[in-house]
C-alpha cells in the first residue's frame, strides 16, 4: 500500500471508565420536584414498589423497615404491631419529624437518590409545628385510609381499588364549595404549593430564627413594635403573640396561614421580608372572610361505668395471648391516656399481665432458637466441618438468629462440648 493512501483513525480511549456506585433498587426519579405538584414521599414508595413489581407491603417489610431499625414489626407474631404502623405512623412520613427523615435516608441508601427530602416538609421543619400539620388519614375515597398501606397503589384507593382522580361524571370542586370557600381553599393550595416548589432552591434548611425575625419585623413595621396592637388587629391573644415573638413557640400551620392571609402575604414571602400590611376596617376580604376552622382533636365523653366494666372483663378473660392496653383502648373506643387517668390500677394490671406474657413468650422463643442452633452445630460437626457461625446460619430458618446473645452463648458452649474450643 502506498504511503499516500494510509488512513488515519481516531485515537481510542482504552482506560476503564469509572462506574458509578450501584444501588440496590432502581433509581426512580421523583415526579414534580421543584413544582407545586410534587409527589409525596408515601406516593413515591408506592410507585417504587410498583416499578419493582412487588406489593408495597413486601417493599416496606423486606427493604425499608430494616433500615428504619424496625424489623421487629414484621418478624413479630403479633400482626397488630405492623397494622399499627400503617395506621398510626405513616401519616408522619411526609412531614417534618424523625420518621420522615429516617425514611428519606433509607430510600436514599436503596435508590441512590439525593432529592427525596423535597417530597416531604423537611426543609421547613423548624418553622412548621408538628401539631395540626397533616390529617391523620386520607379522605379522598369513600373509606378513609392511611397515607401508606400494605396494598397501596399509585392513584388508587388501597381498599376498593377505585381510581382517585376525577372522572367526567364526578362533581367538580366548584359544585362542592361556596364562592368564599373556593377562594380560601385556592389561596391555601397556592401558598402551600409555593413552599413545596421553593424547597429545592433553599440552600440550607430554614431556621426558626428566620420566622421569629420575620414576625418581629412585621410587629415593628406595622404596629411600631406594639405586640398588643399587632395581635389585636389579627385577632390573636397577646400571650400567643408574645410566645411567637420571643421564639418560645412556633405557630401551627393553621395559625401561620391565617396570619399571612390577614397580612396579605404568604409564608414564603414573609420569610423573605414581605411583612404585608395590617387589615383595616375596609379590608373585609382579609379580616372577616371565610377561612377553614382551626383543626381540633375530636373529644368524646367517657362512659366510666362501661369503661370500667370493659377493663374488668378483660382481666377476667382467659383469652390468649392477653390483650395489651392499647388493644383494649381501641376496642373500647378510648385512648390509653384517658383510661390510665380514670382507672390507673386496672390499666396497670392489664399492662403487667401483657408484659408478663411477652416475657414468657420471649423466653420460649429464645429456648426454641437455641435448640435450633445447637442442632445445626451438631449437623455441621457430623460432616467433619468446623461449625462456624456462617455454616450454622445456613441451616437455620432465620439466619440472623445466630447473632443474638443467647445463640452465641449456646454456640460457644456446644463448641466446647464437641472439643472445638478448650
Cβ(158)–Cβ(152) under 8 Å?
Answer: yes
Give the tens place of pLDDT for each residue, 354-405. Answer: 999 888 888 888 898 899 999 998 998 888 889 888 888 888 888 888 888 8
Residue 145 DSSP symbol:
B
Residues of the chain with pLDDT under 70: 1-4, 74-80, 166-175, 276, 278-290, 296-300, 422
Q: Which residues contact 69 (CB under 8 A, 6 or more apart)?
A: none
Among residues 128, 127, 130, 146, which one has the least CA distance to residue 138?
A: 146
> What pLDDT is attached to residue 42?
93
SS3 label, residue 42: helix
> What pLDDT is attached to residue 113?
92
> What pLDDT is attached to residue 171?
60
Alpha-carbon separation of residue 361 from 71, 175, 216, 324 (angstroms): 18, 57, 57, 14
> What pLDDT is attached to residue 191?
92
> What pLDDT is attached to residue 283?
46
Q: Name the residue ranges covered by the structural domains of the chain.
A: 41-164, 179-287, 304-417
Four-CA torsion 372, 375, 376, 379, nearest 10 degrees: -160
Q: Indicate yes or no: pTM above 0.75.
A: no
Residue 61 DSSP symbol:
I
> What pLDDT is attached to residue 337?
85
> What pLDDT is attached to residue 289?
61
> What pLDDT is attached to residue 287?
47
Amino acid at each position: 500500500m502506498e504511503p499516500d493512501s494510509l488512513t488515519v483513525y481516531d485515537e481510542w480511549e482504552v482506560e476503564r471508565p469509572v462506574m458509578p456506585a450501584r444501588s440496590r433498587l432502581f433509581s426512580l426519579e421523583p415526579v414534580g420536584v421543584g413544582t407545586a405538584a410534587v409527589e409525596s414521599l408515601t406516593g413515591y414508595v408506592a410507585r417504587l414498589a410498583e416499578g419493582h413489581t412487588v406489593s408495597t407491603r413486601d417493599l416496606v417489610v423486606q427493604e425499608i423497615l430494616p433500615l428504619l431499625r424496625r424489623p421487629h414489626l414484621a418478624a413479630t407474631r403479633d400482626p397488630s404491631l405492623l397494622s399499627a404502623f400503617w395506621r398510626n405512623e405513616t401519616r408522619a412520613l411526609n412531614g417534618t419529624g424523625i420518621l420522615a427523615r429516617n425514611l428519606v435516608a433509607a430510600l436514599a441508601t436503596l435508590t441512590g437518590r439525593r432529592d427525596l427530602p423535597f417530597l416531604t416538609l423537611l426543609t421547613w421543619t423548624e418553622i412548621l409545628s408538628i401539631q395540626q400539620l397533616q390529617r391523620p388519614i386520607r379522605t379522598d375515597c369513600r373509606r378513609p385510609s392511611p397515607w401508606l398501606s400494605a396494598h397501596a397503589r399509585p392513584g388508587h384507593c388501597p381498599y376498593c381499588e377505585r381510581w382517585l382522580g376525577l372522572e367526567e361524571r364526578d362533581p367538580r370542586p366548584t359544585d362542592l364549595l361556596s364562592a368564599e370557600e373556593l377562594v380560601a381553599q385556592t389561596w391555601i393550595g397556592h401558598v402551600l404549593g409555593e413552599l413545596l416548589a421553593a424547597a429545592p432552591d433553599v440552600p440550607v434548611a430554614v431556621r426558626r430564627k428566620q420566622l421569629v425575625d420575620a414576625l418581629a419585623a412585621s410587629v415593628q413595621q406595622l404596629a411600631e413594635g406594639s405586640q398588643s396592637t399587632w395581635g389585636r388587629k389579627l385577632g390573636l391573644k397577646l400571650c400567643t403573640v408574645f410566645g411567637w415573638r420571643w421564639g418560645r413557640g412556633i405557630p401551627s400551620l393553621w395559625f401561620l396561614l391565617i396570619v399571612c392571609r390577614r397580612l396579605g402575604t404568604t409564608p414564603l414571602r414573609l420569610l423573605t421580608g414581605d411583612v404585608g400590611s395590617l387589615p383595616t376596617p375596609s379590608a373585609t376580604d382579609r379580616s372577616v372572610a371565610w377561612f377553614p376552622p382551626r383543626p381540633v382533636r375530636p373529644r368524646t365523653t367517657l362512659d366510666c361505668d362501661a369503661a370500667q366494666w370493659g377493663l374488668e372483663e378483660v382481666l377476667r378473660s382467659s383469652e390468649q395471648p392477653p390483650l395489651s392496653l392499647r388493644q383494649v383502648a381501641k376496642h373500647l373506643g378510648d385512648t390509653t391516656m384517658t383510661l390510665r387517668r380514670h382507672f390507673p390500677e386496672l390499666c396497670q394490671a392489664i399492662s403487667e399481665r401483657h408484659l408478663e406474657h411477652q416475657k414468657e413468650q420471649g423466653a420460649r422463643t429464645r429456648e426454641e432458637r437455641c435448640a435450633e442452633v445447637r442442632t445445626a452445630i451438631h449437623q455441621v460437626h457430623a460432616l467433619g466441618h468446623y461449625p462456624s457461625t456462617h455454616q450454622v446460619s445456613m441451616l437455620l430458618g432465620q439466619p440472623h438468629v445466630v447473632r443474638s446473645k443467647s445463640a452465641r452463648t449456646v454456640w460457644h458452649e456446644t463448641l466446647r462440648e464437641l472439643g472445638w474450643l478448650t
